[in-house]
Amino acid sequence: MRLLSFILGRAAVALLTILVIVTAAFFLTRLAPGGPFDAEVDLDPLVRANLERTYGLDQPIGIQYRRYLGALAAGDLGPSTTYPDRGVSELIADGLPVSLRIGLAALAIATAAGMAAGIFAARNRNRPVDALVMGVASLGVALPAFVVAPFLTLLFGIYLSWLPVAGWGDGSLRHWVLPVVSLALPQVAAIARLTRGAMLETLSADFVRTARAKGLPERRVISAHVLPAAVLPVVSYLGPAIAGVLTGSVIVEQIFALPGLGRFFVQGAINRDYGLVLGIVILYASALILLNLLVDLAYGWLDPRTRTGR
Amino acid sequence: MTGAQTRRGPVALAAARFAANRQAMAGVVCLLLIALLAIIVPLVWPHGIEEASLDRIAQPPSLADFHWFGTDANGRDLFVRAFYGGRISLAVGLVATVIALVIGVAWGATAGYLGGTVDLVMMRVVDVLYALPLLFLIIVLVTVFGNNIILIFAAIGAVEWLTMARIVRGQAIALRNREFIESARAIDLPPGRILARYIIPNAIGPVIVYATLLIPINIIIESALSFLGLGVQEPLTSWGLLISQGAAQIDSAPWLLGFPAILLVLTMLSFNFIGDGLRDALDPGARG
Amino acid sequence: MLLEVSGLRVAYPARGGEVAVVRGVDLAVAPGECLGIVGESGSGKSQTMLAILGLAGPGARVSGSAIFAGEELVGMPQSRLQGLRGDRIGLVFQDSITGLTPHMRIGDQLAEVLVVHRGASPGAARAEALQMLEVLQIPEPAYRLGQYPHELSGGMRQRVMIAMALLCRPALLIADEPTTALDTTVQAAILRSFAKLKAHAGTALVLISHDLGVVAGLADRVAVMYAGRIVESAPAEQLFATPRHPYTKGLLASMPRLDGPPGGPLPAIEGQPPDPAAVADTGCAFAPRCGIARPACMADLPQPAAVGPAHRVACHAVEPA
């Protein structure tokens, strides 16, 4: 019951947060100087008025806001000025599967590979392989996706011609590999560093000595006593990692010309397509809030100390 | 511990520890070099930033004719552009960090020192913003207010102060009940003076460390914005914009990507090493 | 003898060589006997026991001999040592908040010992664990099995750790400062359970403590360690009645006594125990703090010599019997 009320409480806060974001973003975009039709310099005032009427921009702002919220509750994010024949909701429905797939794949790879590298380095502490893995990780943290991706393209796409340079094609695995790797690499490096530090700290804890004194085989000491404790900092880093993958995906989708949300978002931002930008920000914010809630729940499940006293 | 060491003050001790950290010192040297070149090169280089020439389009690096980093698709010299871009990138990183610093320190110190409901409300605001994808907010801000370079500074700084606020709040809470603050309160110093005179100076260590680590983050954000075409615009340039232009021609002229990318990554690494070195120097117990 | 240690040496690599923390220790424990090892922190008393069980820190160099029930422990592969630890030899450490694994329920931490060593089913292991908690008089034992370490008091955590060490009915229990972090009543209760254990189960006990008082009530024999060596060993009564080494005398004098004069400050031994890196093999390590040191004490290492039946002292100022 405590868990349920915790989830409900967090969900209420999340909903409120999203409402605040919608409101702030809505008024920010509507009150801003310049609108989506500013690019066409010599727009006839009559045509302009017509366009504004089509998009409901001639109404008082309060009414526009109420309409937007009403439509939002029904799952309709309004029209897009960049793609006039399709609504924002439709565009999101198109882009979401692509973004979701590369995002989740990158996150899974980052966690698995990062933890494996960190554990490996910790178990080989102060040996040359440790220094090597951690050196690469230090570099990886400093390499943003927009630097990694072009180089990977050059190597695997152009010189070796193993993988497509860009595009989604039929959505087959070949088209995912480079975007997912570019997206995952900085997080792999960060998680590897974090895991190594946590492993070393845990290995020197008193309870590890107790476990060894019990005569447990080393494998069991590591798997049952060390890892669950060492994984906690990694779990709390997952929130920022998810945010990093989300933002990274905007850049990676741009580089590899993938038809995902990030690409629509950048197109929308360049064209001042407020409906599209607003819709995608709401979606990303909701996803991030939801995933952070899941991370918090996982943390509580892994660390009994946080469960009591709440 | 020798007698000489115990007699030195904490600042001198931290400085000695920092100077003994080879990675951190390498970071300092590398960063100073890049910063110096970013200042000097555009002033003295024989080629101008916008000096284009049709007879030397996209030439690979060569020592002849001072095109050390080669030329771009418009025949402009990359060496001078790379360091000019570094000026902008470093400036954005620094100014955005200062803005974040000012907002974060003021916000965190106020919340932590006043406590109670004020603290609760202020930190709830931080929690809410924390849950947001920050790059998206910056893009919204830049979209709405236009990608003027001053606005880019402001948009990044206005969004990246959250962690700073949390750090300072934690320090302020820890300091609030210490004796010297209590005596300051006892002689009726106004809260603003107590914050400025006692709380903030005493919280400075972690703030410096975090600020050092925030600069590269902000440089990356600027670069990402410029890479997407939402940041610095021609005729100005920055590392992100150069990398973006280089990435577009990576098959024909890889040096256009290579040199700005190397400068950016070296800068990132330098700041990270300096930040880690500062943390270890200021808080030697934090790492084993 | 159940455990016979001779010439044990433990050293750690250090800048420009190594630092020895145990410098040639001889010990013997008979079945069912309680040996007390006393010394200040850094005297090597814990390192001696950790080293023979293969639990010394990374890089430790262990030499000498430690024979347990006919088997040489020094140089034994970890896999075989694992089979002994927790099964034939139980180990209890000083209570700390992180002494038990924080993310595991008490029941699981107890049961895994039996699962690993005896191949017991989880159900049977739990039942035995419950029984052991009852034996150690932990209140509401069934409820404790489902709790996490942070939900227990320090005294209860310590008894859980003792239960853990006793589950496989070891022939030898090594308790390293088992009562140090606890308050006096809990301390007394835990020492009483050790006494019962010795009397009923015939378990041999090595009790390591910096506190002579803890050792006094329980030990059959006492070894006093200083700077990695045993400076005096004797049957407990004899050691308390007629201590011979100046260090032992100092320790005893600084101990509060019910039969001593009330009030008044307790005399303490002047100075600090030496840094292991600064101990040389020439001369008595205690000499700088010793009230009766003579020139020979600085030059020659005193060898242990018998001064009575089973009473050995390493001191130039004590005439051998």
Domain region containing B256: 8-49+66-286
pLDDT (average), residues C17-42:
90
Q: In this complex, which chains have at least 3 CB pairs below 8 Å with chain A?
A: B, C
B3 within some domain:
no
Q: Which of residues 188-247 of A touch C (CB under 8 A)?
A: 205-207, 209-218, 220, 224-225, 228-229
C98 touches chain A (CB under 8 A): yes
Instruction: Give the domain CATH number at A157.
Output: 1.10.3720.10
Domain presence at residue A2: no
* pLDDT (tens digit per residue) in A59-85: 777 888 888 888 787 777 777 777 777
Give me the mean pLDDT over the C213-221 stretch. 88
Helix (H, G, I), strand (E, B) or coil at A53: helix
Mean pLDDT score, B175-197: 76
State whether B228 and A266 contact (CB < 8 Å). yes
pLDDT over threshold 80, residue C44: yes
What range defines the domain where residue A242 resides?
Answer: 88-307
First vs last C-alpha separation in chain B: 18
In the predicted structure, residue B278 carries a pLDDT above the cut 50: yes
Average pLDDT, stretch A241-257?
Answer: 84
Asked if C87 is an interface residue toward chain A (Cβ–Cβ < 8 A), one would say: yes
Residue showing tokens 């009320």: A5
Q: Is A158 on the interface with B (CB under 8 A)?
A: yes
pLDDT at C111: 94
Q: Residue B231 domain-assigned?
A: yes
The arithmetic mean of pLDDT across residues C42-61, rounded, is 88
Share of chain A above pLDDT 90, in %: 11
Answer yes or no: is pLDDT of B1 > 60.
no
Is residue A145's pLDDT more than 70? yes
Question: pLDDT class for C131, splitting at 50, 70, 90?
Answer: very high
Residue from C82, C174, C206 whose CB has the most chain A CBs within 10 Å, to mutate: C82
Distance, C-alpha B5 to centroid of its chain: 33
Task: Kindly report the CATH number assigned to the domain that includes residue B262.
Answer: 1.10.3720.10
Q: Does residue A170 lie within any of the structural domains?
A: yes
Q: Do A215 and C87 touch (CB under 8 A)?
A: yes
pLDDT tens digits, residue range B128-146? Answer: 777 677 777 788 777 777 7
Q: Which domains does chain C have, with CATH numbers?
A: 3-88+168-313 (3.40.50.300), 99-167 (no CATH)
Angle between helices A88-123 and A173-203 (to 10 degrees): 40
- pLDDT of residue C262 exceeding 70: no
Most confident of the following: A121-125, A166-170, B68-72: A121-125
**Residue A273, pLDDT above cutoff 50:** yes
Predicted local confidence at residue B6, as pLDDT? 46
In SS3 terms, chain C reads as CCEEEEEEEEEEEECCEEEEEEEEEEEEECCCCEEEEECCCCCCHHHHHHHHCCCCCCCCEEEEEEEECCEECCCCCHHHHHHHECCCEEEECCCCCCCCCCCCCHHHHHHHHHHHHHCCCHHHHHHHHHHHHHHCCCCCHHHHHCCCHHHCCHHHHHHHHHHHHHCCCCCEEEEECCCCCCCHHHHHHHHHHHHHHHHHHCCEEEEEECCHHHHHCCCCEEEEEECCEEEEEEEHHHHHHCCCCHHHHHHHHCCCCCCCCCCCCCCCCCCCCCCHHHCCCCCCCCHHHCCCCCHHHHHCCCCCEEEECCEEECCCCCCCC
Question: How does residue B4 score in pLDDT terms, banded at 50, 70 and 90?
Answer: very low
Q: What is chain C's mean pLDDT, rounded?
A: 88
ipTM above 0.85, yes or no: yes
**Given CA atoms A102, A108, A111, A115 in this order, what sign does their dihedral have?**
negative
A166 is a domain residue: yes
* Number of domains observed in the structure of chain A: 1
Over residues C277-284, the mean pLDDT reads 80
C1 contact partners, CB below 8 Å, separation of at least 6? C28, C29, C30, C67
Cα four-point dihedral sign B163, B164, B169, B174: positive
What is this structure's pTM?
0.79
Is B60 among the domain residues?
no
- Other Cβ atoms less than 10 A from the Cβ of C79: the count is 9
Distance CA A248, CA A260 (A): 12
Tell which wins on pLDDT, B218 or A41.
B218
User: Is there a domain that residue B124 lies in?
Assistant: yes
CB within 8 Å: A216 and C86: yes
Model confidence at C309, in pLDDT bands (50, 70, 90)? Answer: confident
Nearest chain A alpha carbon to C116: A216
Alpha-carbon distance values, C84 to B198, C87, C88, C117, C198 (Å): 59, 5, 5, 9, 20
Does residue A202 belong to the interface with chain B, where contact is any CB pair within 8 Å? no
In which band, very low, low, confident or very high, does the pLDDT at B2 lie, cut at 50, 70 and 90? very low
Tell whether A33 is covered by a domain: no
Q: How many domains does chain B have?
A: 1
Residue B7 has pLDDT above 70, yes or no: no
In a domain, A195, yes or no: yes
B78 lies in some domain: yes
Closest CA of chain B from A153, distance in Å: 9
C143 and A244 Cβ atoms separated by less than 8 Å = no
pLDDT digits (tens, 9 = 90+) for C141-192: 999 999 999 899 888 999 999 999 999 999 999 999 888 878 888 888 888 8
- What the block records as the tokens of A236 is 């709390």
Mean pLDDT, residues A225-247: 85
